[in-house]
């Protein structure tokens, strides 16, 4: 198994950025080959899955030892707001359309979604009826 004139069977540890990049490319090639041959299912134990696992493990160790990653920003939105946004996405509804459905103006809805404005009882009822938002979420997070 060679990529870029590198013999991957002899690699026991990734020590340079060049090796890391070559291993990353090779893992992607192996995934492509295994997928085309139908040999990538999770229950399979074959030369592809073993080599992908071995190279990926070495890549993870290299990343841990030598690469600095920025932290991923985690959303602090309430489950209620996430539920509203999910329903808007699933129904392909824009904020302006939802504001019209709820009988409020778009800036007010934007403030609700950003957590800057509380949800009134009237709006909560309309969210429940029009988007089928869980009443428990509405009570707990309004």
In a domain, 86, yes or no: yes
Spatial distance between the Cα atoms of 98 and 112, rounded to a whole number of angstroms: 12
Q: In terms of domains, do 102 and 46 share one?
A: no
Band of pLDDT at residue 130, cut at 50, 70 and 90 = very high
In angstroms, the CA 73 to CA 76 distance is 9
What distance in Å separates the CA atoms of residue 45 and residue 105, rounded to the nearest whole number? 57
For the entire predicted model, the pTM comes to: 0.49
pLDDT at 74: 63
Mean pLDDT of 11-29: 91
Task: Write down the pLDDT at residue 42.
Answer: 61
pLDDT value at position 87? 92
Q: What is the mean pLDDT of the chain?
A: 87
Average pLDDT (109-129) is 92
Q: Is residue 71 part of a domain?
A: no
Specify the CATH number for the domain of residue 83: 1.10.260.40
Residue 74 lies in a domain: no
Query: Do residues 113 and 62 both lie within one domain?
Result: no
Residue 104 inside a domain? The answer is: yes
Question: 66, 91, 113 — which closes off a domain?
Answer: 66
Task: Please state the domain count of the chain.
Answer: 2
User: Predicted confidence band at 141 (pLDDT cuts at 50, 70, 90)?
Assistant: confident
Q: Are residues 83 and 137 in the same domain?
A: yes
Q: Give the pLDDT band of residue 73 (cuts 50, 70, 90).
A: low
Residue-wise DSSP of 68-112: --PPPPPP---HHHHHHHHHHHHHT--HHHHHHHHTS-HHHHHHH
Give the torsion sign (CA, 23, 28, 30, 31). positive
CB of 14 within 8 A of CB of 62? yes
Residue 128 has pLDDT above 90, yes or no: yes
pLDDT tens per residue across span 28-70: 999 999 888 888 776 778 888 889 999 999 999 988 888 876 6
Query: Domain span at residue 19?
Result: 2-66
Residues in the chain: 142
Please report where in the chains the tokens 């996430």 appear, as a residue. Answer: 82
């Amino acid at each position: 198994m060679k990529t870029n004139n590198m013999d991957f069977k002899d690699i026991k540890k990734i020590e340079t950025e060049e090796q890391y990049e070559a291993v990353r490319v090779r893992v992607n090639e192996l995934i492509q080959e295994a997928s085309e041959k139908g040999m990538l299912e999770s229950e399979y134990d074959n030369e592809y899955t073993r080599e992908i696992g071995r190279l990926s493990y070495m890549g993870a160790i290299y990343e841990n030892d030598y690469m600095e990653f920025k932290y991923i920003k985690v959303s602090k939105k309430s489950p209620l707001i996430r539920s509203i946004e999910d329903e808007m996405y699933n129904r392909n509804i824009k904020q302006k359309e939802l504001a019209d459905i709820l009988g409020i103006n778009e800036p007010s809805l934007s403030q609700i979604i950003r957590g800057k404005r509380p949800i009134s009882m009237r709006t909560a009822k309309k969210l429940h009826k029009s988007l089928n938002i869980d009443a428990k979420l509405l009570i707990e997070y309004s």
